[in-house]
Each structure stands twice: as C-alpha cells, then as structure tokens.
Chains A and B, each alone.
Chain A
Amino acid sequence: MRVLDVVKAIAQGLATTFRHLPDRVTTQYPDEPVRLERRFRGQHILHVDENGREKCVACFLCAIACPADAIYIEAAEDLRPYPERIGVDIRYARVYDIDYGKCIFCGFCEEACPKDAITMGPNFELAWYTREDMIKHKEDLLITRQRVSPHLEIAP
C-alpha cells in the first residue's frame, strides 16, 4: 500500500517535470537578448535634460548615501550662461566615478538624488580584465554616451 503511494507520488512529481521539459527556460545569452524587468538595477545612467545639459549638480548626496563608498565626485564651477554650460546649474561634476568593484547595486544613490540625475540602468555586462577598468567615469555613464547592449531587452 505504502509502496504504491510512494510510486504514485514519484510519478506525479515526475509528470510535472516531464510536462515542463519542452519549456525553454535558459536564455541563450549572448546569442539571444536577455529579458529584464523594468526595475532591474544594473549599471548607472547619468541623465541630461532636454537640452543635453547634465542634470547632476555634484551635490555629493549619492556619494554619502552609498553604503559601499563606490562613488567619487569632484565638483566644479561653470559660470557660463545656460546654453554654453555643461550642466543644468553653475555647479557640475567634473569627475564622477563609480567603482563597480565596490558597487552593490542597492539603488540608494538613485533615491538620494535630488535632481533625478542618476538612475540604475539595465546594463548588467559588468566584467573587465583589470580593477582599473571597473572604475567607470562620467563619460562612460552619461546617457548620451552609454551604448545599450544588444544582448538585452526590457520587459514592457
């Protein structure tokens, strides 16, 4: 009796397994794009306003919010009129480095930002050969400079 129960249970379990066998779960990365949810937290994006001025005013709040101490900023002054400026305000980040060797992708920087200048982007391809390469500069992070990887797609 008991043996039959056991066999039945195994059969049931395996039936589920076999039923799903034809399903394709594995994504054939990089041959196929990876599908990401919208709130996925990948590499940061530094945003610009509608005229292409950097939104970041180098207030240093992300740097202090960062639990991993991965963000390094140097602020500078740009007194030119708005059309010629680099950033939206007279204060902008001359240096904006994120060390992906340290970053834990918690998204606190995004929450701390008073200017909506930094958000977590979808890019997850963060592997390099040296530690120096893991430090990404402003030029790498700006939305105008970042290339979106062909290997991902974002869920609608």
Chain B
Amino acid sequence: METVKVIINGKEVEAPKGKLLLEVCFDAGFPIPNFCYYKDLPPQAACRMCLVRIEKMGRLQTACTMRVSEGMVVTTESEEIRRARMAMVDFILANHPLDCPVCDKGGECELQWMAMNYGDLLARFDEQKDATGEYPLSPFIWLDPQRCILCYRCIRVCDEWVENHALGVRGRGAHSVIVGNRPDGTLACEHCGNCVEVCPVGALTSTNFRFRARPWDIRDTVTTCTYCSDGCQLRLSVRDGRVVRAWAKDLTKMDAEFANKVLFSFRTAPETRHNWINEEFLCLKGRYGNEFVNSPDRLRVPLLRRNGRLEPATWEEALKYVAQRILEIKRTYGPESIACIGSPRLTNEDLYVLAKFGRQVLETPHVTHAMDVDWRPFFKRLTVPLLTQPELREQMPTILLIGGNPPEYNPLTAYSLRAAVHRHGARLYIVSARPIGRLQVATRFFHIRPGSEPAVWLALLDEGEVERAAEATLLTREELYELRRFVWEADRLALLVGREVTGPALEAAAVLGGMLQAKGERIVRVLPLLRFNNSLGALDMGLVAEMLVPEQVGPQIKALYLMGCDLVRFYGDAWRQALARAELVVAHELFLTRTAELAHVVLPAMSFAELDGTFTNNAGQVQRIRRALGVAGDWRPDWMIIDQIAAKMGADLGCRHSAANIFREIAETIPGYQGITYARLNEEGAIQTERPLMPLEVIDRARLLERLRAQVEAIDHTAERLQEPAPLGIGLFEPGTLTEHVPLLRQAFGWDVRESVEVSR
C-alpha cells in the first residue's frame, strides 16, 4: 500500500495514502475530539469538533473527512483550535438540557467528557431552551430530541449495519428531529438497538436499561451470546445481582483517556481488548434477550415427582433418586433402554460430560442432541475450512448464499455480508426461494422454487445437470450458467449454506469447496448457518446418535435423560405421550417447560450468565462464556449435576469440580480442540478449531451425485416461487424457550405465554 508522510504537530508520521486524517492522528497519539465520526461509517462532518489546521488551506478543516496526502502539515493543538472546539461545545450545549442526573447516559456520556475537556465551564447561553419531552420510538427505544446533538450516527448505523433504513430526520435546522419510519414517527424495524449503542449522548436510550443503573455501579463481563450460532461476544452489565443490559461497544476505539478514565474505571472486567468477531454489532436477542436469567420463573430447587405431583426436594434426595432409578432401569432393561439427549444451547463442557456419562456410565448408544443433529454428514464430508466472520467481512470478494434468512436467523452473518459489500465491494449472490428483505446490497438475486435448493447444488457440482436444475428451480439456463461461472471462476469464494439445504445437498455443499480448490489455486471457505449457539459444539462433543422418534419411547427406551431440551416444544405433542410412557424422565432445566412438567425429576440448572464454559460457533470458533452473576437459587451447573449422579452410581467422570478441568480433557480428546485452553481463549478471544478435512479422493462423488439427483427428482415441481419477503421478525420476534421469559420481549410482541404450572411447596 502506498504510504505518505504527513507532519502532525511537528511529528513526522507515515500513513497509508487516503486514510482519514482523524484516524492517522489517533494512531499517532493525537486524539481529536469528535461526535459524528464513527469507524467504518461514511463521514458526516456534522459536529465540527474535529477541526484542525492544515497548512495552505484557508479555513479550519474537519479531520474526519480529510484524507491524508503527501506533505500535509497538520496542527491539532493550538489556541485557535482550542477556541474553535470550545465554541462547538458551547453551541452543542446551548439547547442541550443539563439534566445529567436524570439522563441515562450520565457517567458515560461523550458530551459530558467533551464538555469537561474541551468546553468552557462557564455557560454563556442564557436564553429559554426549546424543551421537548422524552418519548418511546418503539417498545425498546426511547428518544429525547432535546438531548440529541444530531451526529447522525444512528441513521448511518441503521442504514449500513442492519439495512433497516428505519431512522431519518424530520424538520429543518434547529427543529431537526430524529424520527422512525412509521408515519407517526415510531419505528418499524427489528429493534436491534445498535442505534442506542452508538448514540454519544442520552438521546436514544434502551427501555430495559433506562434508569436501572449507572456505569459506575455495574460490573461487566464479556461473554458469548446464547442465541444463534454466529456466536457474538457481548458485555453483560450486572447490577445488584441482576443483568441490566448487554452491549458491545468497542471501548478501545474511543479516546483512550475517556475509555480509561470514564468507562473502565469502575469495571473489573479484564477483557478490555476488543478483537470480537462481531465488532460492535448485536441483534435484538443478543441485546434485549438476556434478562430471562433474572426471571422469577426460574427453577430454584430440584423437583421430584411424588404421588403424581412435582414437589420440591433437596439435591441429595433428587440425585439419589435419579442414580437409583437409572441403575434399576439399566439392570432391568439393559443399558440400551436409556437415552441421553442434550441441548445445542449448553456449553461444550456440559455436553462433553453428558456424552461421557452416556457412554461410560450408562453404556448406551443413544447419546444425541436435539435439532441440528442432521448436519452430521456436512461436517463429516467437509473438504474446506469453515469461514469466520472477520474473514467474511474483510477477505472474501465473492460470496454465495444459498437458502437461509441471515437477517432473521443469523443477524451477525447478515451484518458481515453488508460489511463485505460496503468495505471492499464484495459481490454477493443470493439464491433463495423468498426475497430477503434486508440484504438489498446483494449484487444478484436468484429466485428459485421453494425446496429446490438441492437442484442448485446439483447444477453447481455438475455442468451436465443444468437442464434438470433449470426445470426444478425455475431459473433459466443462463442464470444457472452465470451462477456456475460466479462460483467456478472466483479466486476467493465464501459459500454460505442455509437451513433449507438438507440431506445429500448438504453433503454436496461440503464437497463443492474441495472440488473448486482441486481445480486451481483458490481459496474457498464455507459457513453453515446452524440454528443454535452450540450446535456445532454438540456435534463435536459426540452427541451424534440418530435422534429418537417418540414411538421408540416405551417399547424400546425406558429412561430419558434430558439436558436442557424441550422436546415437546421442538418436536411437537407426540412427545407428550412418549414421555408419559417412559419410566424415568430426568430433565435439567432453567424453567418448568412443557417437557419438564412431565418429568419425574427436574433439576435446576445454571444459565449461561452463571456459568463458566465455552461455545463453538458455526465457524468452529471456540469462545468463552464467563460467570457474570452470583448465585440466586439452589442451582448447579449441568456438568456438576451429572458428575454427582455418576458419583452416586459409583463412577468418576473426572470433572474435578471445575469447567476448566473438563475443558482440559476436551482439548486432549476431541479432534480440533488441541492446544486450546481457557487462558488462550481469554487472551485471543475466538480460536478456530482445526476440523479434520476429508480428502476429495475418498468421497464417492458419483454416488453423491446420484443421491442428489434423486433428491432433485423428489422436489415438488408444482410449487410456485414465494413473492412476498418473509415478514419482519419471523425469526427474531418469535417466542422461544428463553426469550419468552424476557419481560421486555413478551410485552413488546404481545406473546401470550402460558401460565406457569403451580408447583406445590
């Protein structure tokens, strides 16, 4: 890259040509105050705080729009600039309400910091202020227009990061007000709250955090989100034993003094580095969906079925009962009568211990997990490494997405796709049966027949099959050839595989990368859009047996050991009868779910906010979750419960009372996890596991094509394209096991949640 020499305050600095002067100054150790500048957002030059003097230029220039060129001589500190900054702070504060004690941002407000550092302590504005009140823009977001300094960060973030285009300005001049996209000025969007996070002042505030805490009385813990498989990092703020917010602001990007003095001073989190895979992005669930951990509905004591009713019991009673019953059933019906089903939401440590318990203590082959177990063949036949989010954003000029709806189910992936297009003009091709609302940055959109995704893979794999695929997908042959060219001529290709891709098509998705790479020097990466935060971890930990069907329970399966999985919710009411037929159902749960109601023993487990552990995201990256909360109930980690049951059964699972120890064992035994330790994870953030890749020669491609062809034949050739895009919030606004216990979400979306069952005490 071409570099230029610039002189900043007499210091010679070398910088890449065309970089923003403000960034160059920041790197050179001359931070320039600003409000409207934000990394990777288009420059705005609205706040005029970053004025600097550049020699040979008539007036003061904004450093946030000026790009460096050879021989530029810049002054960032002088009496003139000091006065200009003071004047700007004066102007901003003119109509700004001085209600810092009430304002939610007080204590971490950029304007407070600027006013203290660059402003005049004497306020000269002595006129009547134009006052306005606060009002909600949406159930999640409040606006106080008087506090707004119109830096337009929120609008730009909404346009660039989430493509909602939900915010704009109404009115002119001093009467400009930020408004939402509904006619009445409220918001119709996915309520991700990123606008709140970037707001430098208290103009936009989150409903859940409003008035609940101050930056100095909360403790932050960096942890991993527990919803989708993208695995965003987030900071959980805890006050007084309760999670009050989740946020992802990159504090290292801010004025170091501000960050250190103001934002870190009261926080004990050691993870001040911000090399997060999600940068600063969070979605609705990641930001507003964590308060289920505070829910009063949480199970706090073990429940034991006595006389047909679940009654509170001591841990000792419950564990003893479970151990005894399992031993009896194993003795009576044999080990194969017991099944262990884990949840793809639990930590690697929990799942590993469950798998070990199932295999070594129970000696059963039925060790599996709910939901994403069908992805097994994909990972088995993987021929190229998995794609990480930073790679997707920065390094992939050609991207193909087949199926899926990232804005709803994998919001971070959608963010990365947009970033790839915005930052380096990546070409994004989307193949989908439904228009995707919020990925308008796509270069091309191929609208196919619902369910015909396998045909697209078939056409990509085998040129001879284009005709057949054209018929199945409703695409023209030219379109399919264009798609083939796009894939086969790309130097660096990212393949994103959505949930609609199943069976042999899934295997094809895993194999295609290898075939492309075999064809020539190129880099191909593949990203499976899995459902849950630890779907891949569950597969890695060995919960890979075929998922049970309800009919098996009763005649074949006598005991079910369910760890955090609500089978009735996931697989329907057929499981109600199945559970009734079982002789023993043990459930680890946070809440009394539909499944747990039918269990014989319900053991209260810990949520992700109370645990230490790791998740493996869809890119195979291991990330830490960290304990953020103290103990508010008599609950235990899942692995500990199993360990104690095993101990009662006379076995030792080797947990040695800590998740770190279990993870050490995982690192020793699970392929790909070698060398990963908690210490390294703390240091490096996300570490990608090295997945065993299948050599292309081993794969029987002819057989795969044959099966794929059969799959294509089975496509319903009468189905028509879906013209309507999926409704906003189809994935984000649906109640889930955890989200339905978040009061804010429940209120906002009017979820009618069933009354919790009375538990006799």
Touch test A–B (CB under 8 Å): yes
- Within the complex, the shortest CB–CB distance from B208 to chain A, in Å, comes to 12
Asked if A75 is at the interface (CB within 8 A of a chain B CB), the reply is yes
Decide yes or no whether A48 CB sits under 8 A from chain B: no
A142 contacts B by Cβ under 8 Å: no
* Interfacial residues of chain B within 92-117, with CB under 8 A of chain A in the complex: 99-102, 106
CB distance from A56 to the nearest CB of B (A): 9
Q: Are B211 and A64 in contact (CB under 8 A)?
A: no
Chain A nearest Cβ from B132, distance in angstroms: 13
> Are the CB atoms of B211 and A76 closer together than 8 Å?
yes
Q: Cβ of A75 and Cβ of B212 under 8 Å apart?
A: yes
Say if the beta carbon of A60 comes within 8 Å of chain B.
Answer: yes
B380 CB within 8 Å of chain A: no
When distances are taken between beta carbons in the complex, the residues of chain B under 8 Å from A76 are 211
Contact indicator B101/A114 (Cβ below 8 Å) = yes
Residue of B nearest to A92 (CB): B211
A91 — which chain B residues lie within 8 A by C-beta?
A: 102, 211
Cβ A89 vs Cβ B214 within 8 A: no
A46 at the interface (CB under 8 A from B): no
How many angstroms between the C-alpha atoms of A8 and B655 in the bound complex? 86
**Would B101 and A77 count as touching, CB distance under 8 A?**
no
Is B210 on the interface with A (CB-CB < 8 A)? yes
Asked whether A75 lies within 8 Å of B101 as measured between CB atoms, the reply is no
In the bound complex, how far is the Cα of B134 from the Cα of A99, in angstroms?
Answer: 34
- Nearest-neighbour CB distance to chain A for B264, whole angstroms, equals 15
| A57-B134 contact given A63-B217, A64-B214, A75-B212, CB 8 Å threshold | no
Q: How far is the CB of A82 from chain B (nearest CB, A)?
A: 12
Tell whether, in the assembled complex, residue B212 and residue A60 are in contact, meaning their CB atoms are under 8 Å apart: no
Are the C-beta atoms of B106 and A59 separated by less than 8 Å? yes
Q: Which residue of chain B has its CB nearest to the CB of A117?
A: B101
Over the window 49-84 of chain A, the binary record of Cβ atoms lying under 8 Å from chain B Cβ atoms (1 yes, 0 no) is 000000001111101100000000001110000000
Q: For the complex, would chain B's binding face be called helix, strand, loop or mixed by DSSP majority?
A: loop
Q: Which A residues are CB-close (under 8 A) to B217?
A: 60, 63-64
Asked whether A90 and B134 contact (CB < 8 A) given A60-B217, A64-B217, A77-B210, the answer is yes
Given the complex, which residues of B lie within 8 Å of A151, measured CB to CB? none
A115 and chain B: residue at smallest CB distance? B101
Within 8 Å by CB of A61, from B101, B134, B212, lies B101
Give the nearest-CB partner of A59 in chain B: B101
Decide if A59 touches B210 in the complex (CB within 8 Å): no
Interface presence of B216 (CB below 8 A): yes
Chain A, residue nearest B136 (CB): A79
Q: Are A89 and B210 in contact (CB under 8 A)?
A: no
Kindly state the separation between the CA atoms of A41 and B100 in the bound complex, as whole angstroms.
Answer: 28
- From A57, A64, A114, give the contact of B216 (CB < 8 A): A64
Which among A58, A63, A114, A115 is the interface contact of B211 at CB below 8 angstroms? A58
Q: Nearest Cβ in chain A — how far from B203, in angstroms?
A: 15
Q: How far is the CB of A102 from chain B (nearest CB, A)?
A: 16
Is A60 a contact partner of B210 (Cβ separation < 8 A)? no
Shortest distance from the beta carbon of A67 to any chain B beta carbon, whole Å: 14
- The answer for the CA separation of A57 and B217 in the assembled complex, in Å, is 16
**Chain B positions within 8 Å of A60 at CB level:** 213-214, 216-217
In contact, B211 and A77 (Cβ under 8 angstroms): yes
B-chain residues with CB within 8 Å of residue A90 when the two chains form the complex? 102, 134
The CA-CA distance from A76 to B210 in the complex, in Å, is: 8
On whether the beta carbons of B211 and A89 are closer than 8 Å, the reply is no
Query: How far, in angstroms, from A128 to B54 measured CA to CA in the complex?
Result: 70
Q: Contacts A59-B106, A60-B217, A64-B217 hold; do A89 and B212 have CB atoms under 8 A apart?
A: no
Question: Most chain-B Cβ atoms within 10 A of its Cβ — which of A60, A75, A77?
Answer: A60
Please tell me if the beta carbons of A57 and B212 are within 8 angstroms of each other in the complex.
no
Q: Tell me the B42-101 residues at the A interface (CB within 8 Å).
A: 99-101
A91 to B214, CA, bound (A): 13
Instruction: Give 17 A-B contacts (CB < 8 Å), ordered by A residue.
Output: A57-B101, A59-B100, A59-B102, A59-B214, A60-B213, A60-B214, A61-B101, A63-B217, A64-B214, A75-B211, A75-B212, A77-B210, A89-B99, A89-B102, A91-B102, A91-B211, A115-B101
6 shortest interchain CB distances as A-B pairs: A59-B101, A75-B211, A60-B214, A91-B102, A114-B101, A57-B102
A59-B102, A60-B214, A77-B210 given; name 18 further pairs at CB < 8 Å.
Answer: A57-B101, A57-B102, A59-B101, A59-B106, A59-B214, A60-B217, A63-B217, A64-B214, A64-B216, A75-B211, A75-B212, A76-B211, A89-B102, A90-B102, A90-B134, A91-B211, A114-B100, A115-B101
